[in-house]
Structure 1
Amino acid sequence: MIEEPAARAAMLTEIAAALARAGHTAEALRTAERIAILSEREPALLRIALIQAEAGDISGALQTVARTSEDSYSNQHLVPWVQARAGDLDGARRMAVGIGLVPERARAWEGIAMAQLVSGDTQGALETAGAVSEAGIKLTLLTRIAEAQIQAGDLPGARATLRAAAPGAKAAGGEALKAVARAGTAGDIAGARHWAAQQGSPANRTIALLGVAEGISSQPSTGTPAPVIPEK
């Protein structure tokens, strides 16, 4: 028997999440409610809500969110994530603005932008990305937006996004990465994209993707669609 409250809460959270993923939402909620400490229970409830939203049960997800207290400080970014996934962008934005913790607020804006990107609103995602104040989160978000732009064939847009993501792309080492990426696109676009996606740091990955975009744009048009970026 687990006596430590934090360990017990972690165990119950994992059980609740597994139940939610299996479609046993009612049992998942009952499991989460067994967590005695409010600050530990609310992340479990919000995790269930995210699983519901990802499964398409938006109404159920919002009902689960309603079980949490309005002043919860733990994992606050998850609430606007669910709202955005549900299509309530205005509500998600209002919630994000009200989050006091800077990292949590940045992650909230990230989730809103990703919901917009998934729905096909790339321009809206770019505008939302402007509200992200954490450099690392913003870099990752802009890189993902650029990947979607490359996949959609919007190379000028992707180049602009990537330059905004890594304004220091011309720093030492940056040009070398771009040159390798451009060379790769000359004979193997899919391989070059895969190589770029495997770069270790977000900055190097961004710079490499910029090179891929520029390499693709410099090639003569063949009239054939560009390969889709491999899923990671």
Structure 2
Amino acid sequence: MDDTPQLPQIKVEPLEASVGLRRLATDAIKHAITNMDIYDHPEEVRLDERQLSRDLGVSRTPIREALSLLEQEGFVRSVPRRGIYVVRKNKREMIEMITVWSAIEAMAARLACERATPEELAELRAIAEFRKQNPATHISEYSQTNMIFHKTIIRMSGCVLMSELVENLFIHMRAIRSVTMRQGDRAQRSIVDHMNIVAALEARDADLAARRVREHTLGLAAHIEKYGDFLDQFQSTETRKRRYA
């Protein structure tokens, strides 16, 4: 019996070969990374060109081009003689990303108070009420819906640039929220915060909505400041592996 531990791998679907394969491969790999809990295990996530080629049903050339583009966008990093790895942030980097996210989303909330339609607000309330009774038993599903909630607020701002700016933050924000939702009563407290944010948006109170969004998101930064040392442990392990490779 093989007792070798199974390393984390991303899951991708075969591509249609009718349009630009590099773009399709890039989108497929990015989607797979975004939907993976990259902070939920100590092992690095290594991307294998041959495996991706087989999984996506294309040659290695568009895979190589896609990985190069993803490296430029900050999703992966190339380590000489070792391969391509999904980027993970250390504690300080994560707190900085959350701080940027909070500023953008607070501004988005202000704009949403002016621009959001009643239908959009109803959609946001429905998202906030997801698994309202017992989110702790559906953490993975709830975590995904949690990020949809925040991205919906940004979308309701009507500012496309805001959505584009936070897209690269999304992979790390979603993944770290998935981890922290399992810690203490953060899932339940998050629901209360979300309902309060929705109420402020429905009241079209821009100052209150912006403040509630900012305080909610910065609460995650404070949580990472207090409990996020494991992020530095991940990076220390990865650094040692690169040093002695």
**TM-score with structure 2 length normalisation?**
0.24
Q: Which protein is bigger by CA-based radius of gyration? A: 1
**TM-score with structure 1 length normalisation?**
0.25
